[in-house]
């Protein structure tokens, strides 16, 4: 099976650029996820690959076939690309039975009738719905519809499978089961898959590689582990998992050890990071809530940064406690297994667990209001 190459993909609607010259390559058999908030351009990217949208610039090739190349004025219509696609609404044709739904692409490909029957049966068996072939889509549950949509996308053995938030219409419990099932199926088939989602858990659990997108840019393309542990930009850290951001000034830097004064409470912390910074720079320190620990005030913890804070709220969320604590003028989120902390506490973290960015983070007004408190 071929690999899919996207070069300088660009899409503009009038003056509004929704995709900024993105390039990436998806390897044969890879499960590749486009992750980002709504409006980041992930669905546009997918639609450009499917041929449902015409890019303003760039090229897309699969194996030896060029799907689109704006310079050479090549544009293959979606029907000529031999792709399989599952839509967010499943898009099962409501006036056809499940069997007819699956037969449509085969009829278009002029496959003999008896062969059609075998293929449809096999595809439905694969998704565990062989006995429902005579039903109409509205007679199926959401989960069943989603599996039929997948069977319909796979029945003609497409070169690439495109999935546009296929799980987002399922309820939470079912979604997790469907996720595991989808992962097994994709591994069994070995089909190159492009998956679009705004759900970071889905992306982390399913993908071989993830492309995190925001504002039409690809911020980072990497495997799930690197995306979570070493986010390339503050936006990635904020979108994948939760994260506290602190603005600070670099006081001293020795090799990869940096001493930073935080802006919100003038506290001084040490951060180990390979990020290149110079003394006097304004930087951003990012700390994930689960990498912070709360300890009672006055307790000594060796080798850790300590910050004096005050508990604002504590909430029990089952597996742990979520604390909102005040650090100077800023609210900090902390995850902890310690119950019942109130009043003055210390928040501690290892210098290696902090992320350091040379740029400052632009927060929206809503976010800024929510993390700021009167001191």
Partner 1 sequence: MATLTSPVAPEQRPEDERDFRPPRYRRPFGIGRDTAVQYAVIALLAIWVLAPVVPTLIQSIRSEPLYEDGGAFTLDGYRHLFTDAGFGRVIWNTALFATLTTLLTLLIAIPMAVVVVRTKLPGGRFFALAMQWPFFISSLILGFGWIIMYGPAGFVSTEFRNVFGGVPWNLYSIPGMAITEAVALAPIAYVFCANALRQSDASLEAAAQVCGAGPFRILTQVIVPMLRPPMVYSSILIFSMSIETLSVPLLYGQPVGIDVFSTFLFTNGLQSVHPNYSVLGAASVIILCVTISLVAVQAKLLKDAARFVSVRGKATRPRPLDLGWLKWVSIAAITFYVVFGALIPILGLVARSFTRIFTPLRNPLDFVTTDNYSTITRYDTYVQSIWNSLIVAGIGAVVVSVIALLAVMVARRSNFRFGRSVEYLALIPQAVPGIIIGIGFFWAFAYAPFGLASALPGTLTALVIAFGLRALPSAFGSVAPSMMQIGAELDNAARVAGADWVMTFFRILRTLITPAFIGAVVLVFVIMLKEYSPAVFLSSADNNILGTTMLELWAQGTTGAVAALATIQIAITAAFVAIASLLTRGKHHA
Judged by the rule CB under 8 A, the positions of this chain that interact with partner 1 are 1, 29, 50-52, 54, 77-85, 87-89, 91-95, 104-105, 108-111, 115, 118-119, 122-123, 125-126, 152-158, 162, 187-191
| CB 65 within 8 Å of CB 178 | no
User: What CA–CA distance (Å, rounded) separates 375 from 372?
Assistant: 9
Tokens representing residue 155 in the block: 């029945």
Q: Which is nearer to partner 1, 52 or 361 (CB)?
A: 52
CB of 53 to partner 1, least distance (A): 8
**What is the separation, in whole angstroms, between the first and last Cα of the chain?**
60
User: CA–CA distance from 155 to each of 123, 243, 267, 302, 337 (Å)?
Assistant: 6, 42, 61, 60, 48
Taking residue 125's Cβ as centre, other Cβ atoms within 10 Å add up to: 12
Q: Which is nearer to partner 1, 19 or 50 (CB)?
A: 50
User: What CA–CA distance (Å, rounded) separates 53 from 66?
Assistant: 15
CB of 265 to partner 1, least distance (A): 43
CB of 20 to partner 1, least distance (A): 23
Q: Which is nearer to partner 1, 3 or 247 (CB)?
A: 3
CB of 37 to partner 1, least distance (A): 20
Tokens representing residue 108 in the block: 């278009």
Q: Which is nearer to partner 1, 39 or 158 (CB)?
A: 158
For residue 149, the SS3 value is helix
Q: Which is nearer to partner 1, 126 or 261 (CB)?
A: 126
CB of 84 to partner 1, least distance (A): 7
Give the list of residues 6+ apart from residue 144 with CB closer than 8 angstroms, or none. 129, 132
- Tokens 């006081």 label which residue? 251
Element (H, E) at 54: none
CB of 171 to partner 1, least distance (A): 16
Taking residue 239's Cβ as centre, other Cβ atoms within 10 Å add up to: 23
Q: If phi over 0 gives left and psi between -120 and 50 gives alpha, with beta otherwise, what is residue 255?
A: left
Q: Which is nearer to partner 1, 33 or 43 (CB)?
A: 43
Taking residue 112's Cβ as centre, other Cβ atoms within 10 Å add up to: 9
Q: Which is nearer to partner 1, 14 or 318 (CB)?
A: 14
List residues bridging with 269 in a β-sheet.
Answer: 260
| CB 348 within 8 Å of CB 306 | yes
Q: Which is nearer to partner 1, 152 or 326 (CB)?
A: 152
Element (H, E) at 175: helix 172-189
Give the list of residues 6+ apart from residue 365 with CB closer than 8 angstroms, or none. none
CB of 162 to partner 1, least distance (A): 8
CB of 101 to partner 1, least distance (A): 9
CB of 164 to partner 1, least distance (A): 9
Q: Which is nearer to partner 1, 29 or 215 (CB)?
A: 29
């Amino acid at each position: 099976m071929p690999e899919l190459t996207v070069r300088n993909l660009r899409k503009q609607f009038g003056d509004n650029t929704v995709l900024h010259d993105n390039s990436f390559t998806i390897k044969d058999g890879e499960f590749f996820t486009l992750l980002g908030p709504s409006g980041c351009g992930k669905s546009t990217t997918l639609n450009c690959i499917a041929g449902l949208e015409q890019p303003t610039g760039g090229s897309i090739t699969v194996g030896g076939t060029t799907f689109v190349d704006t310079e050479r004025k090549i544009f293959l219509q979606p029907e000529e690309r031999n792709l399989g696609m599952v839509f967010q609404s499943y898009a099962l044709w409501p006036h056809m039975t499940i069997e007819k739904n699956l037969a449509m692409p085969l009829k278009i490909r002029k496959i003999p009738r008896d062969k059609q029957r075998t293929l449809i049966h096999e595809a439905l068996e694969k998704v565990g719905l062989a006995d429902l072939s005579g039903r109409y889509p509205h007679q199926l549950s959401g989960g069943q519809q989603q599996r039929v949509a997948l069977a319909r996308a796979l029945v003609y053995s497409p070169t690439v499978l495109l999935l546009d938030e296929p799980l987002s219409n399922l309820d939470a419990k079912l979604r997790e089961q469907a996720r595991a099932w989808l992962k097994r199926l994709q591994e069994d088939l070995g089909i190159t898959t492009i998956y679009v989602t705004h759900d970071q858990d889905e992306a982390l659990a399913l993908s071989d590689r993830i492309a995190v997108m925001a504002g039409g840019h690809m911020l980072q393309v990497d495997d799930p582990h690197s995306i979570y542990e070493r986010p390339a930009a503050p936006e990635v850290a904020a979108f994948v998992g939760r994260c506290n951001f602190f603005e600070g000034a670099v006081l001293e830097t020795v090799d990869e050890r940096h001493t930073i004064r935080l802006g919100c409470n003038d506290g001084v912390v040490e951060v180990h990071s390979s990020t290149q910074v110079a003394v006097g720079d304004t930087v951003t320190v990012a700390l994930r809530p689960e990498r912070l620990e709360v300890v009672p005030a006055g307790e000594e913890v060796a080798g850790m940064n300590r910050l004096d804070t005050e508990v604002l709220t504590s909430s029990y969320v089952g597996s742990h406690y979520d604390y909102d604590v005040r650090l100077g003028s800023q609210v900090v989120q902390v995850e902890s297994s310690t119950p019942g902390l109130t009043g003055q506490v210390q928040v501690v973290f290892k210098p290696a667990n902090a992320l350091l960015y040379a740029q400052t983070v632009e927060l929206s007004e809503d976010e800024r209001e929510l993390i700021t408190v009167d001191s």
